[in-house]
Amino acid sequence: MTHDVAEPAEAQVEPDEPPQAPEAPLLAAPAEGLPPVTETADTLAADVQRFAAGSGPVALDTERAGGHRYSQRAYLVQARRRGAGTILIDPIACPELAGLAEAVADAEWVLHAASQDLPSLAEVGMTPTLLFDTELAARLLDRPKVGLASLMETELGVRLAKEHSAVDWSRRPIPTDWLTYAALDVELLLELRDILAAELVDTGKDEWARQEFAALVNAPAPAPRREPWRRTSGLHKVRGARRLALVRALWEERDRIAAERDITPTRILPDAAIVQAAQAGPVTADELGTLPGFRGRAKRARGRGELRRWAEVLRVAAALPDSKLPSVAAQYDGPPPARAWADRDPVAAARLSAARAALGETAAASSVPVENLLLPDTLRRLLWEPPDDSSPAGVAERLRGLGAREWQVNLVAETLATVLAEPVPSVVTGE
């Protein structure tokens, strides 16, 4: 199989400068040509039959429109299998892909950064039973860069163009150059998988990877975020419960409108505008139109009506009784952010600092990023409320309950038990 690659122009090197390494050739087009987009039941049935007759793992990817749409649904599904080639499926025209999932149910599904694609694949009826995540494999191998384009260049010696990564994939028809970009994301994904899989075996990390991939397959759907409005950018500038209530009200109204229109929320009202309005307090529509974040909206068609809507939202929120105001301190589903530990629990903060240092040494010795050695959230939950049994066995049991994989437990349980057993420095306790 040959691929259409664009040869880089020969670089001009100054006589006194050291020569630069030649740029990797650009992967410009699929080796077998760009396949047509599957948009009918008959074409999809033919794709399913061809993939069922293929062999080996299946490369998969999706394209979403997160920067343009409210939903995270897939607007294009790409798949490739040896003996079957590449297919591009429009899941708007063909919203049910359970037949394809059934045809390759026994195969390993290969994705890059699978956690981003699995929810949108599940929406169209595709859930894997066996998975290989090339990004996660690269992390376990301690690669300095784990993006797909970086790995294609370092492992396979070709460049991928990424200029269409943030386009609006809900657009129809999808432009040809966008489709080429999408097809190339799976063109060599199986070859990349083979290289990384071999190195996982060579380094003794294949079992680690197997456990990580299985955890992705079996992961439950994430619980709804508590008080999601608190993620408003710039919220730290807003002081007091009553002004926080204004942020909450504007955020929730914006979210309702965004869901109704299927538009990303910040295209309706930027976070900066929400913060400005909350800082200004309850204002009239005329006053609201003078704020920087609302001036453009005041000049648009229907702008006056929009300003009156936002002003009414602010008025209602400002009139809430004290019992209905949000807490000034954020409410968390788990421990507070690490930056707050020193004030809220200095002893726990000291434990966290010691544990981070110890895990850093273990991660370096194991050639794995510390955040993959143990998720930061798992570490915080363990140390904020340590188990009654802080022996290695007790710590191991608690880690398993928090979702840590067995390979992680084996590497960190004894280290963390040692941290929990160490006396807290007197400078922390004040003794």
Domain 228-324: homologous superfamily in CATH: HRDC domain (1.10.150.80)
Strands ordered across the beta sheet of 37-38: 37-38, 85-89, 76-82, 55-63, 109-111, 131-133
Q: Which residues contact 69 (CB under 8 A, 6 or more apart)?
A: 168, 170, 262, 263, 264
Q: For the chain, report the end-to-end CA distance as a whole number of angstroms.
A: 72
Confidence (pLDDT) at 296: 74
Question: What does the domain layout of the chain look like in residue ranges?
Answer: 4-218, 228-324, 338-429
Distance CA 379, CA 334 (A): 11
> Tell me, what's the pLDDT at 327?
92
C-alpha distance from residue 107 to each of 25, 82, 103, 130, 182 (Å): 31, 12, 9, 7, 22
Q: How far apart are CA 12 and CA 287, in angstroms?
A: 59
Give the count of beta carbons closer than 10 Å to the beta carbon of residue 368: 21
Q: Cα–Cα distances in Å, from 337 out to 143, 239, 387, 403?
A: 28, 19, 20, 20
Residues 6+ apart with CB under 8 A from 292: 272, 273, 276
CA angle 6-9-14, nearest 5°?
155
**Going residue by residue through the chain (431 aa), what tens digit of pLDDT does each one get?**
556 555 545 545 555 666 666 788 999 999 999 999 999 999 999 999 999 999 999 999 999 998 999 999 999 999 999 999 999 999 999 999 999 999 999 999 999 999 999 999 999 999 999 999 999 999 999 999 999 999 999 999 999 987 888 899 999 999 999 999 999 999 999 999 999 999 999 999 999 999 999 999 999 888 888 899 999 999 999 999 999 999 999 999 999 999 999 999 999 999 999 999 999 988 889 899 899 888 876 556 456 788 999 999 999 999 999 999 999 887 777 898 899 899 999 999 999 999 999 999 999 999 999 999 999 999 999 999 999 999 999 999 999 999 999 999 999 999 999 999 988 665 455 55
Q: Which CATH class is domain 4-218?
A: alpha beta
399: which 2 tokens? 């880690």
Domain 338-429 classified CATH 3.30.365.10?
A: no
* Alpha carbons 207 and 193: distance in angstroms, whole number: 15
Instruction: Report the C-alpha gap between 233 and 220 in whole angstroms.
Output: 28
Q: In one letter, which amino acid is 428?
A: V
Domains 4-218 and 338-429 agree in fold:
no
